[in-house]
Amino acid sequence: MLRIEEATISDFPIITELFEHLIKEICLRTNSSPNLFIVSGTMDKCKHYLESGIYKVFKAIDENNEQTIGFLSLCESYSLYANGNFGIIQEFYVHPEYRSKGVGSKLLFSAKEYGGGKYWKRLEVATPPLPEFDSTVSFYENNGFEITGGRKMKLTIE
Residue 83 belongs to domain spanning: 2-142
Contacts of 68 (CB under 8 A, 6+ apart): 11, 14, 15, 18, 59, 60, 61
Cα(124)–Cα(85) distance, integer angstroms = 11
CA dist., res. 24 & res. 56, Å (int): 22
Q: What would the mean pLDDT of 49-76 be, rounded to a whole number?
A: 97
Q: At residue 152, does pLDDT exceed 70?
A: yes
C-alpha to C-alpha distance for 79 and 60, rounded to whole angstroms: 30
Q: What is the pLDDT of residue 39?
A: 65
pLDDT, mean of residues 75-94: 95
Question: pTM for this one?
Answer: 0.91
135 located within any domain: yes
For the chain, what is the domain count? Answer: 1
Asked if the model's pLDDT at residue 3 lies above 70, the reply is yes
The answer to the question of residue 83 being in a domain is yes
pLDDT at site 58 = 98
Query: What is the tens place of the pLDDT at every residue in 108-137?
Result: 999 999 999 999 999 999 887 678 888 998
C-alpha distance from residue 139 to each of 15, 19, 81, 101, 133 (Å): 22, 19, 25, 12, 10
More confident: 158 or 2: 2
Question: Is position 35 within any domain?
Answer: yes
Residue 81 is assigned to a structural domain of this protein: yes
Q: Is the pLDDT of residue 79 over 90?
A: yes
CATH (domain of 81): 3.40.630.30
